[in-house]
Amino acid sequence: MSRQLRLSAFALVLVAAAGAAPCLAQTPSPTPTPAASPTPEKTAPPPVQIEKEKAQRSKAVTLRDLKNPTAEQVVETVIVIYGLPYGRPVLNQVRRNGVENGRVTRTDGEGRTVDISYEQRFIHGESLAKDKIRLDQKTPAMEFAIVYNAGQIWGVINGTPFTPREDATKEFLSQAHHGIDTLLRYKENDSTITYAGRDKQKNIDLWMIDVTDKGQRKTRFYISANQDPRLMGRVLWLEYEEPGAAGGEPVKFRRTFHEYRYAQNTLVPYRSVLYADGRQVEEARIFTVTYGVKMDETYFLNPQAAAN
């Protein structure tokens, strides 16, 4: 059998098995009853994009490459897994915009917690620099939104724009700069990917991939290298560093991903946990997520600029 046929056969087995399997035999937590979601627009990857993606899928990891793959082989495998059945075209078409609802529980240094309900809307541009993101949050004390529009960021409260606190802006941008999309959209963002070797933790074989963006922000991804095609290619956690307060020591962050399920043929972790220097500071749960919805551009406009 030729190398090309082996690659194609493996990719098909990988995709077929991935759609039916849970992530690492994790037991899902009870999920709140989903709220009604907007009706998504039906989209299909253009034939030209599908043909281009077939060429990319030929770079996915083969059975004999498992022990020593290239960075591109690992990342292209992840992209196929996260966007069944065509990989990048599905992610680009289905996830070009969407609405996500959920809850975040944050813990401060004294162990006190606060629950935050959120709704996040987004429209993906050609890269993160051209994305539009609006995060509406509701705490027991207040309601407000943070908006990112093509590199500009501001807050909105009761329809009035304001400048968010530095820590709130930093936290918002960290999620954009150090998330799973950082890996899935590495080409769109002109980021550099590097294979950092293999690891094994809790009896799980792992690939380590470093993604460095144009701002020299680095995120290390720990990806399942389990030879079972149903488990291979899922991001289990990621790590990164942020400068400490007042010039202090850098803070080491670690975000773990759990309860993977497919939403409109794309793989989504419905729970994640964030640690700072080993201490849990946040747990996030997605209640509903809908991609391909009609999006009102006014959500992403600065109210002050719109009034003028």
pLDDT of 248: 82
Judged against a pLDDT cut of 90, whether residue 132 lies above it is answered with: yes
pLDDT of 272: 98
Q: How far apart are CA 243 and CA 245, in angstroms?
A: 7
Pick the range with the lowest mean pLDDT from 29-33, 50-54, 202-206, 208-212.
Answer: 29-33
pLDDT of 244: 84
Q: Where are the beta strands (DSSP E) in 108-234?
A: 113-123, 132-138, 143-149, 152-157, 160-162, 192-201, 204-212, 218-224
pLDDT of 16: 36
Judged against a pLDDT cut of 70, whether residue 31 lies above it is answered with: no
Q: How far apart are CA 91 and CA 183, in angstroms?
A: 12
Judged against a pLDDT cut of 50, whether residue 107 lies above it is answered with: yes
pLDDT of 45: 55
Residue 78 burial (C-beta neighbours within 10 Å; 0-12, 13-18, 19+) = buried
Q: Spell out the domains of the chain, with CATH numbers in brackets.
A: 3-307 (2.50.20.10)
Mean pLDDT value across residues 258-279: 96
Which of the four pLDDT bands, split at 50, 70 and 90, describes residue 40? low
Which of the four pLDDT bands, split at 50, 70 and 90, describes residue 26? very low
- At residue 153, the 3 state secondary structure works out as strand
pLDDT of 115: 96
Whole-structure pTM value: 0.80
Q: How far apart are CA 303 and CA 308, in angstroms?
A: 9
pLDDT of 51: 54
Pick the range with the lowest mean pLDDT from 26-30, 141-145, 249-253, 289-293.
Answer: 26-30
Judged against a pLDDT cut of 60, whether residue 50 lies above it is answered with: no
Q: Where are the beta strands (DSSP E) in 73-165?
A: 97-107, 113-123, 132-138, 143-149, 152-157, 160-162
Q: Is the dihedral of CA 31, 94, 291, 169 positive or negative?
A: positive
